[in-house]
Amino acid sequence: MSRQMPPAHPFDDDKLKEECGIYGVIGVADAANFVALGLHALQHRGQEAGGIVCHHPDHGFNNARRFGYVRDNFTDQNLMATLPGPLAIGHVRYSTAGGKAPVIRDVQPFFGEFSMGGAAVAHNGNITNADALRRELIERGSIFQSNSDSECIIHLMARSLQKTIPDRMEDALRRVEGAFSVVAMTRTKLIGVRDPLGVRPLVLGQIGDGWVLSSETCALDIIGARYVREVEPGEMVVITDQGVESRRPFRKQPSRFCIFEHVYFSRPDSIIGGRSVYETRRQIGIELAKESPVDADLVCPVPDSGTPAAIGFSHESGIPYAMGIIRNQYMGRTFIEPTEQIRNMGVRLKLNVNRALIEGKRVILVDDSVVRGTTSRKIKEMILDAGAKEVHFRIASPPTAWPCFYGVDTPEREKLLAATMSEEEMRDHLQVDSLRFISLDGLYRAVGEAEGRNAKCPQYCDACFSGEYPVAPSDQIEKGFTLKAAE
């Protein structure tokens, strides 16, 4: 079955987009209901489709995969009744706007039947050697069911000679390069793994006698689970009714968590590395105001992701904060399949200027990032149309000049504004009175690195800003992608 889906936010193609959220629960009755709630809390990480696999001792493995929002699918009691058992995992994925038409067989979790029993796998991230692995596996007889990189993991597990599923998974993941957080299950085990650099997040929680794995802590809160700790970079946790076993399948390396999770991807009510995402974003605004002050009358966020940074900017600068732009919260894919005419209305369908506040004012607009620059330009026009005297952009991330190959949907490098223009050229292009981005050091300070970025051994992945990829994107290099020249 295949079905063309509109992008989740048809007028919002000017942001980087996280591609997946993962979740798993063991040791509670009807675990799939908890997984559905968890996936609902992770919906910001992917709106195209969701899937759940579960296991019941009498009914075996069952699964459901659906296009669309979790709330529109996994609230159907008839459907949920087909997903019984104390163990379940789930996945939400992002819509590949403008890419290949999505097909239901690409929707995770993926399931494989092995001689020692079934296993299901849900993956957040991107396997940077997936093309090479797929070629090799096909040559050796594997039959792929989907277009997804993540299916390689199941085939590598099938080829392993190890005797248990967790051991096979270790074997498989040692062949995989790139960024991965994985939640998997057997009949009796819930398994969580993070790649050696820990690029993508994964946390462990507890609910009663049961355990939870989740991309973010906000999805623990929704089911009343207690945050226990992060699954550490390079760690595999194998959870049974006996408790949590921690394994270390990979060679230890310095971690390189995705710094953009702090800026934009994660929900502001999540905790990352012991830090509140909201507070980090507020701190980014403070750093930005210190680095790039400007005389103005109002600080306005581009909602919603620019809001905490705007609050920080206002706090540090003493310039009043105001909701100069209002977001229509109900602009989801449920709206309509957009016609050309409606598409031309663009960002106005999602954002509206609060004219009474803006008229005659010098306005500082705080946004999380500039990708193609198309939205920034339209927002500036709306603000000027509303009678603003000056428009100053302050951006809560450094210029995004390089694509991400670790599980985030990014335009090709040529389409990134910062890849082809200097900051001053971008200001000219956007026709604003001033444009400033937070520095990479400023961003590192905001995430708690008091000394800024360690140039010799950066504490985070920041490749989309610096061009320094912690794992060489080998498939992309084979296709002609050129890495930044060494300085």
Q: Is the peptide bond before 10 cis (omega within 30 degrees of 0)?
A: no
The pair of three-digit structure tokens given for residue 423, joined into one six-digit string: 């900051």
Q: Which of 54, 120, 130, 464 binds ligand SF4 (CB under 6 A)?
A: 464
Examine residue 432 and tell whether it contacts ligand SF4 (CB under 6 A).
no
Exactly one of 20, 404, 461, 464 is catalytic; which is it?
A: 20
Q: Which is closer to ligand SF4, CB of 323 or CB of 477? A: 477
Instruction: Report the C-alpha gap between 437 and 430 in whole angstroms.
Output: 14
> Which element (helix H / strand E) includes 49?
strand 49-56
Instruction: Report the C-alpha gap between 312 and 283 in whole angstroms.
Output: 6
For this structure, is 20 an active site residue?
yes
Alpha helices (runs of H) in 351-391, residue ranges in sequence order:
355-358, 374-385
The tokens 């061009």 sit on which residue?
467
Examine residue 177 and tell whether it contacts ligand SF4 (CB under 6 A).
no
Considering only residues 78 through 117, tell me which ones interact with ligand SF4, judged by CB under 6 A.
Answer: none
The tokens 């444009």 sit on which residue?
435
How many residues in the shown chain lie near ligand SF4 by CB under 6 A?
11
How many other β-carbons are positioned within 10 Å of the β-carbon of residue 431?
12
Q: Which is closer to ligand SF4, CB of 260 or CB of 444? A: 260
Examine residue 191 and tell whether it contacts ligand SF4 (CB under 6 A).
no
The tokens 């290099």 sit on which residue?
477
Q: For the chain, how many residues are written? A: 487
Q: Using CB under 6 A, which of the segments 89-97, 301-309, 371-379, 457-465 binds ligand SF4?
A: 457-465
Q: Which of 258, 272, 325, 357 binds ligand SF4 (CB under 6 A)?
A: 258
CB of 203 to ligand SF4, least distance (A): 17
Torsion of CA 208, 209, 215, 218, to 10 degrees: 0
> Identity (one letter) of the amino acid at 201?
P
Instruction: Report the C-alpha gap between 244 and 476 in whole angstroms.
Output: 37
Q: Using CB under 6 A, which of the segments 88-96, 236-244, 252-260, 378-386 binds ligand SF4?
A: 252-260
CB of 44 to ligand SF4, least distance (A): 15
Examine residue 406 and tell whether it contacts ligand SF4 (CB under 6 A).
yes
Q: Using CB under 6 A, which of the segments 332-340, 424-432, 462-470, 472-480 binds ligand SF4?
A: 462-470
Examine residue 408 and tell whether it contacts ligand SF4 (CB under 6 A).
yes
How many other β-carbons are positioned within 10 Å of the β-carbon of residue 59?
12
The tokens 């992945």 sit on which residue?
461
Q: Which is closer to ligand SF4, CB of 191 or CB of 259? A: 259
Examine residue 395 and tell whether it contacts ligand SF4 (CB under 6 A).
no
The closest of 415, 367, 343, 138 to 263, measured between CA atoms, is 367
Q: Which is closer to ligand SF4, CB of 45 or CB of 155? A: 45
Q: Using CB under 6 A, which of the segments 303-311, 390-398, 459-467, 479-487 binds ligand SF4?
A: 459-467
Torsion of CA 224, 225, 228, 234, to 10 degrees: -130
CB of 411 to ligand SF4, least distance (A): 13
> Identity (one letter) of the amino acid at 207?
I
Enumerate residues 6+ apart whose C-beta is below 8 A from 223. 25, 34, 37, 38, 207, 212
CB of 18 to ligand SF4, least distance (A): 8
Examine residue 190 and tell whether it contacts ligand SF4 (CB under 6 A).
no
Instruction: Report the C-alpha gap between 88 and 90 in whole angstroms.
Output: 7
Instruction: Report the C-alpha gap between 32 and 229 in whole angstroms.
Output: 22
407 CA to centre of own chain:
7
Side by side, which strands form the sheet with 434-437? 298-301, 362-367, 390-395, 434-437
Q: Which is closer to ligand SF4, CB of 114 or CB of 481? A: 481
Cα three-residue angle 361-367-371, rounded to 5 degrees: 130
Examine residue 197 and tell whether it contacts ligand SF4 (CB under 6 A).
no
CB of 451 to ligand SF4, least distance (A): 19
CB of 461 to ligand SF4, least distance (A): 3
Q: Which is closer to ligand SF4, CB of 84 or CB of 373? A: 373
Examine residue 462 and tell whether it contacts ligand SF4 (CB under 6 A).
yes
Examine residue 260 and tell whether it contacts ligand SF4 (CB under 6 A).
yes
CB of 471 to ligand SF4, least distance (A): 10
Q: Using CB under 6 A, which of the segments 96-104, 113-121, 257-265, 416-424 binds ligand SF4?
A: 257-265
Examine residue 180 and tell whether it contacts ligand SF4 (CB under 6 A).
no
What are the residues binding ligand SF4 (CB under 6 A)? 199, 258-260, 404, 406, 408, 461-464
Q: Which residues are marked as active site?
A: 20
